[in-house]
Amino acid sequence: MSNHRLWSRILRNAAALARLRVLECLNQGTCREAIGTGAGGDLTKRFDVVAEHTMVTYLERFASFTLMSEEAGTKQIGAHPKGFVIMDPIDGSTNVSHDITFACIAIAFATDLEFDSIEAAVVLDLFSGTCYHASRGGGAFREMRSICPAKKTPLESSVVGVDSGFPIKSLQRLSEKTDKETIRFTRHFGANALELCYVADGSLDGFIDLRGVFRGTDLAAAMLILTEAGAAVISEKGLEIIGQCTNEARYAYIAARDDQFARTLLALAKEK
């Protein structure tokens, strides 16, 4: 078994264990209070720490690595770290805090803090337990089924995720009635990493977040799953997404079933 496939299996086990611990904590009613501010700048809830601690404790049994987390920031785990574990322990914390059952655990292993260095990735639905995973060169999967993006459909029939922080005027332009084809169906569920996996498996035709605030730690795992599935991801300038998977690096992006559709969405979003 190749190293990245081994890491994919280890990450899946770590995320599954973290999910169990978080659900136990939530069922006991002791997990939703804020206990500080994470390295990413957001309030840290107890369930964030439970997820992070569970995964780190599990992973350090197998390797020494450098942790890059939205909560703990950068931290050396073990005496001789090789590679990076990049995680958003809980993506969709606001949903969890309000008993909205849409959130996920996002975790990746990389040889360096660059998107093209990510070797394995897992996005695990916190509530349903559905696991998206990928290893570099090995494809992307939902559970054990290989996934790919949606087939081409007319624009007016496409379903597109749009982050709720998207500028209202731009959102209106996406769906306003004109002589041109427009998007009739937009969605946002509140956990971008999981919604990006919906693009990877064809549930969504695209996802737009042009705010420029999405962290590299949040995007890392979903990025590999998207690219291994064959989806397109471009920046707000229509370029390939390159850069670091850190809390400090922020990104605006469009993910879509193919490059042509990604550029169609970008044009619509920026249309005057």
Domains of the chain in sequence order = 3-146 (3.30.540.10), 155-270 (3.40.190.80)
Mean pLDDT, residues 200-222: 95
**What tens digit of pLDDT does each residue of 44-57 get?**
788 999 999 999 99
Q: What average pLDDT does this structure show over 10-38?
A: 87
Dmax over CA atoms of the chain, in Å, equals: 63
Which residue do the tokens 């919906």 mark? 198
253, 262 in Cβ contact below 8 A? Answer: no
Q: Is 209 helix (H, G, I), strand (E, B) or coil?
A: strand
Q: How confident is the model at residue 268 (pLDDT cuts 50, 70, 90)?
A: confident
Q: Give the angle subtended at the CA of 153 by the CAs of 254 and 163, to the nearest 5°.
A: 30
What is the band of 153 on the pLDDT scale with cuts at 50, 70, 90? confident
For residue 245, how many other CB atoms are within 10 A of its CB?
A: 25
Average pLDDT (191-219) is 95
Q: List strand residue ranges (DSSP E) for 115-249, in order.
A: 118-125, 131-135, 140-142, 145-146, 159-162, 185-187, 206-215, 232-235
Q: What is the mean pLDDT of the chain?
A: 89
Give CA–CA dist 265/21, Å, rounded.
Answer: 39
**The pLDDT value given to residue 37:** 61
